[in-house]
Chain A
Amino acid sequence: MSFKRISIACSVATFGVYAILILSLFYFFRRETLWDTLLSERTLFSIRLSIMAATISTLLSIVIAVPSAFALSRYDFLGKRAVDTILELPMIVSPAALGAMLLIFFNNPLGLWIQDHGPQFVFTFYGIVLAQFVTVAGVATRLIKAAMDEIPVRYEAVARTLGASPAQAFRTVTLPLSRRGIYAAAILSWAKALGEFGATITIAGSMSMKTETLPIAIFMRLSSAEIEGTVVLILILVSIGLSILYVVRFLSTGASYA
């Protein structure tokens, strides 16, 4: 078998693993359960809560990630390597550990002071947003930095010789050129936040109609052996996730600065 065939077989096999997992859901799929589950107040709340929390955490992440990525891509500064390394934290630490770290932080004097003088994070909507934010901010920064690294620094240099300040050069040249990368980072972050479970359940708990996001709803239905309902919720999550990834693919094509 040629190398080409082997490599194609591997990619098809990988696809097959995931396809089998998705298709196997239909073994427990019941049409009548679909509408009951989908239209139930609890499910609709979970969808609304998940979308709202994911949207807010993504917006916050992008607002922080864009300037951070620019700094990491363009400047040398003290501690740059440490900042660059810690962006990977959400990828190397399990989500549950990340949630536990948040919980421990809010039991420290500083965390307690924040909770006393600001919003409550533990077992609240803010906790969900915070858990999703810490999970996706690093990834968003990494993705946007990769997009900015692709843009030659000369564009900004030339913009500045034409009279633009560094901020104007960033706004008029770097930002529009990295637009696709930022969109892609935002959408992937949103999809990741939507599916976030470990950190969220650790800090926000699993309170029905309060902190029950879609992944937590799946976990809770599975815990109470409601397989058909669980399947419907998984299909909702998979549908949203795959649609988002399709949009990302569409946005990521065609960016070249050579």
Chain B
Amino acid sequence: MLEVINLSASAGCFVLNNVSLAVIPSACHVILGPTGSGKTLLLESVIGLRNPQGGRVVLEGQEITGLPIERRGLSYVPQDLALFPHMTVRENILYPIRIRGSNEDIENGIVRELVDSLGIRHILDRSVRNLSGGERQRTALARAVASGRKYLILDEPLSALHESLKKELWYLLKDLQRRYELAILMVTHDLEEAFFLGDTVSVILEGKLCQQGRKEDVYEHPSSVEVAGFLGIRNLFHVNRASVSADSLLMYCEDLGTTLTLPLSSLKSRSLETSSLALGIRSEEIAVLMPGELTPHVTNIIEGIVRDTFENGAFLTLIATGRGSSTSLETVLPRMVAKKLGLLRGSPVFLRLPEDSLFLVDIDSAGPFERLSS
């Protein structure tokens, strides 16, 4: 296991504060954060390019914080890949083998398998200066895996690729991870990439690790307004009054002008008396009801008016406000469904906020929350 324990580092006036995380063998841990949040600083401190100001890095029980880069047992692929420009693809891939003094050729063992599985046999004798973006990524991954190290550190290695090629490489990276039982610590600002590749995810904002856990938990239950905002959750509402009724939580949101019901388990370890809370729901979780679906036992219904619609390929983003409320709700639905429902600007609409899709987040600071809800 690769453990980062209370790591602090700085670059200029930027400070990375007390970060702890763990990458378990054969798993992928993704550090997710916007540009300038300290992701690269964290990686550089882990691989030894920077000296941390505090904390430890432990690999399989052995502290490696003070070890030179080459003795840390971590393979690194930076954002620009750093393929050696004076070498061919073959020489780049064989570099970690040659540097150990071995005369193994490309046709031996793991390297042959790598070359074939990554589909780069036809470019082996090409200079790396003449490769396409995808070929460069494949070569960099082959070189990193050929080093025989089980821990791979990736710094946004796919950020420069276009969407279709990027997705192709996600599958390839997953395949490599499983085939060679690699543990990967990777940083990205791409939410889709993080939740596709990661087994566990950490969210880092302004040098602070805000949340980490299984990707499902981070996705479904952001821990704070800041994290929820970064994860693209637009529907966040201040909880003005909260109470417990039987096995449910009743949350009154002045923004929506209504009381919403949640399962009691949503409260987790929070206390209603001391917590300042907001209620969130992902746009894609809000259901638009057909008139026949409106029955008395269906809860959390908001009757509103369509304020705007935006087409986004196969989907339609719908902005609505509840009657008597100025706060907008955003929902996403298939374009065909929207067409069937005849949803146009000014149409009345019934939105259902399913109990299980609602989640509570802590309000640490008012700034971003105010911005999101307005």
Contacts and interface: CB of A to CB of B under 8 A. Distances in A.
A146 to B, nearest CB: 18
Contacts, number: 61
B84 A160 contact: no
A163 interface: yes
A164 B99 CA distance: 6
Contact of B82 (A158, A164, A168, A179): A158
A113 B76 CA distance: 53
Contacts of A163: 70, 96, 99-100, 147
Contacts of B85: 177, 257
Given A161-B74, A163-B147, A155 B82 contact: yes
Nearest to A165: B70
A216 to B, nearest CB: 42
B147 A161 contact: yes
Contacts of B96: 162-163
Interface in B57-102: 68-70, 72, 74-78, 80, 82, 84-86, 95-96, 99-100
B41 interface: no
B49 interface: yes
A168 B99 contact: yes
A161 B80 contact: no
B306 interface: no
Contacts of B100: 163
A257 B74 CA distance: 25
A158 B99 contact: no
A43 B129 CA distance: 49
A173 B47 CA distance: 19
18 contacts: A154-B78, A158-B78, A158-B82, A159-B95, A160-B68, A161-B72, A161-B75, A162-B75, A162-B95, A162-B96, A162-B99, A163-B100, A164-B99, A165-B70, A172-B95, A177-B84, A177-B86, A179-B86
Contacts of A173: 84
B143 interface: yes
Interface residues of A, number: 20
A172 B86 CA distance: 10
Nearest to B49: A157
A40 B192 CA distance: 80
Nearest to A179: B86
Interface centre among B72, B75, B85, B96 (most CB of A within 10 A): B85
B76 A157 contact: yes
Interface string B120-155: 000000000000000000000001100101000100
B86 A161 contact: no
Interface centre among A154, A161, A168, A172 (most CB of B within 10 A): A161
A209 B144 CA distance: 61
A179 B80 CA distance: 22
A176 to B, nearest CB: 5
Given A162-B95, A163-B100, A157 B69 contact: yes
A176 B86 contact: yes
Contact of A155 (B72, B84, B149, B153): B84
Q: Which 8 A-B pairs have the closest CB atoms?
A: A162-B96, A161-B76, A160-B69, A158-B82, A160-B70, A154-B82, A176-B86, A164-B99
Contacts of B74: 161
Contact of A162 (B86, B147, B153): B147
A119 interface: no
A73 to B, nearest CB: 16
B316 to A, nearest CB: 42
B80 A162 contact: no
A153 to B, nearest CB: 8
Contacts of A162: 75, 95-96, 99, 143-144, 147
A152 interface: yes
Interface string A65-92: 0000000000000000000000000000
